[in-house]
A and B are shown apart, each in its own frame.
Chain A
Amino acid sequence: MSKDKFDYFIKGEKNKYEVIIGLEVHAQVSSNSKLFSGSATKFGAEPNSQVSLIDSAFPGMLPVINKECINQAIRTGLGLNAKINNNSVFDRKNYFYADLPQGYQISQYKNPIVGEGKVLLDMSYGSKEIGIERLHLEQDAGKSIHDMDPSNTYVDLNRSGIALMEIVSKPDLRSPEEVNAYIKKLRTIMRYLGTCDGNMQEGSLRADVNVSVRQVGDKKFGTRCEIKNVNSIKFMQMAIEYEANRQVKLLDEGKKIEQETRLFDTKKNETRSMRSKEDAHDYRYFPDPDLLPLKIEQKLIDDLKKTLPELPDNKKERFMKDYGLNSYEANVLVSEKEISNYYEEVAKLSDKKLAATWMMGDLFAMLNDKGLNISKSPISAKNFAELVQSIKSGEISGRIAKEVFELMVESGDNPKKIIESKGMKQQSDPKELEKIINEILTKNKDKVDQYKSGKEKLFGFFVGQVMKQSGGKANPQLTNDILKKLLKG
């Protein structure tokens, strides 16, 4: 559904409202060990097997920061076109919860490692810049499991102490669709950089969503509500939709909106107040006395900058320029690094535009069907390029190509071999075709007469007969031309 004008507004009984959204995205840093301890970070390990005495907050244990986590935060900051702060400070954010053994989370409050940046979104109504307020490093909490015992909660601290990057956007987002584009863009950038795997099923990427509404034309923001810990794009969109409509209804009834923390109930599709969080905003931050301020040398930033890969925005521009793709095609093909690598390999060996069309059509549909990642594609880039070339050169028709494609998926064979062994080559010899067509015309003399007396719809019938006779191999363009010529005579 593409539109050329932004149109996400909510109509109340009386007024028309605009929705203002800001996101706090929590992205798990890709690193072998945790932010302040040497425990592993692997997902899905045995409960409490990746926990050290630091992660479980034994008295007297001291945190020592993981260099790689600092580098990952800097890389991400650079990828977000953001300012890297040479001085930042770790603070304690104090609150009590069963899966937070320290009684506080080590985070960064006033002086984060990364400052303001920006992310570019490609919307159907044009490109839109979303401001980044900041990015800071913090510890993840453990996991509470509520459904294994009717009267108790089980706590697994494997996640406790894994490094998170909290990426805070400015309140620049205006619709669930923009939130979708923003999260996907962040994910793509971080996956290119290798700083977060972006796996939402495993909780590597989660977000707190701030929603407020205001009458169209108002300059002042309304009171916002924060929806905590939403872990899929679909749920974020549903939560925003519900929450914005709830606020509009209140305002239209002349009621006030309370600033509060809310929870999205995925089963009932509604947000509701989290009363337990009433005092929760009183975190009593203070600099963590166990950690010295973090100083980052400019040289480290410059060195990391030199090793960054080509990022999606630049790659998109290059794809459009070098391969003649349109903006939509380029966007799709740069959305994952692996996809763009596959495409470049194919484009080197075949027609660039046709390769894009076939990749985005049949190849993606097949991968999607099988639930496969492109790196696990049963068709190699080289074989796929050969298939594209066979279509381009007219050796096989598009229809036959689909059959060859299926056989390639089944066997992993190269298309030349399949086309030859199955005799699937397109019939492109005009003399041979003329012979077939003449036979058909002789056999269907009555229909030829009808055609000549004006029943032109019969043309399709003749084409069908030629295809049937040739086992689908007749070159469609040539068939049309010859048929027209012979029917005239």
Chain B
Amino acid sequence: MQHISLFMKITSGVLVYFKNISMKKLTRRQFLLKAATAGGSLAVYNASLALDIFDSHVKTENLQLKPGDGKTQIVILGGGIAGLATAYELEKAGYTCTILEASHRIGGRNMTLRHGDLIDELGRPNICQFEDQPNLYFNAGPARIPGHHQRTLHYCRALNIPLQVKANHNRLAYYQEQSSFNGKPKRQVEYIADARGFLAELVFKAINKNVFEEELSQEDQEKLLHFASYYGDLAKDGRYKGSQRAGAVSDRMLSHGNANTPEKLDAFLKSNFWQDALNHSEFYDWIEPLLEPKGGMDQIVKGFAKSLKSRVITKAQVQDIEVLEHGVNITYQHKEALHQLKADYCFNNIPAPLLVGINNNFSTDYMNAIAAIKRKDLFKIGFQMRERFWEKEGIYGGISYTSQKNAQIWYPSHDINAKKGIILGAYVWNPDDCEYFANLGLKERLSLATECGENIHKNYAQYIESGVSIPWSRMNHMMGCGNAFDEEDYPRYFHKAQGPEGHHFMIGDQISYHPGWQEGAFASAEAALLKFNALIKAKS
């Protein structure tokens, strides 16, 4: 330990020097050369860490890790997505890994529930009662992958996991709000047509009142007029009178379909949908088309498991993490006995709020940074339906939104026309509502979500055969979902939590800017591995 602190002192001195010279705007290469001259390769590593200037041109598919010598031992704490990816990459480079996982299964929040699966909720462990059919599964954690999550998609390619398109935004799905339009569900497409129509009509009026006289030339104003007419499907007089884009009141095949009468603008403005959920598909992570593995999101976990040769010890609860000068010493309990594991490097995927309670010898700064990561909650319900009634309503995949506590209903994009299906009956983000659901008994949760569903689909209750509920804040060994830094803690602690401390690296979506996404977990693993690579190169 004395050595470490002495080492820290020396390197921090060197760092001050580097921070000063970096003021002179050296190029990265010049800077690192100077660092190397002044303090050797370890100093370069430490300087790179402090200034966060690791090269980011390296792609996940080609990390180019320094080949292992067959002797270097790695311990990975937590078999979640980041832990599995770390093991996969290190194994590929020739290192020996051991994964210690506290729960009965690997995968972390990548959890697909099927017949007979244990839902290990704190105090309420229960078994999934879905029928034993290959299409009856529920993605309780991550459930969609946008096309730009190239790390996630890389692993799907590398692990030979077939993907399919998953509808996320579905204009034929409903929006239902208790306090608007008598609580009646409306097709989202009707809102969209009205929202565009109203907005376009206002633009049309404004142009005719010469509001944009100063900003736009006459010619550009005419173009904008044209855009507004087309965007909102306005009549020739610039009025919005409803649009066939939202369907028609009569059959459109054998007669001229008449458009729905639009809502009154003031009633429309009172509704919340157009301000909120209507725009969800605009978010970069939810842009269409999204993807999902065929047969459930946990095909990714299964793919890793199949490929890995590392020792995976489940039900191994870490008790103590001791960072040594050249490694780590882990104490864990497995089957009512304590074990010790010494390794050269440690990658730690344990949820930060749980890590705070585990014995360790982290520096106060590092610990404070880890402790700044707060618990976050999400809540999901899955229902097995005896019939795919939604398909008869023209809904194939996508999401209905509601102002009720269940918030969302998701329809499966896979196995269309099968007899039965699993739908998501609640996806709750609001912390109060998450807490409300979590605090109910298992049956009461399902009843509440059923009542909510009744206001959206006729006879919803009678289709339900069984259900599961997943309060992420109460799932054993996780007790939360993603991360939640207080706003003021991001600048103070985030970089520090990304570590490492000595040979101990934090990983997981919790130390990414993308909590709750597998891409965040993969990115964290990639970043930690690049730092590891720099360290091991510097030490050799």
- A and B: partners? no
Interface residues of A (CB under 8 A from B): none
Interface residues of B (CB under 8 A from A): none
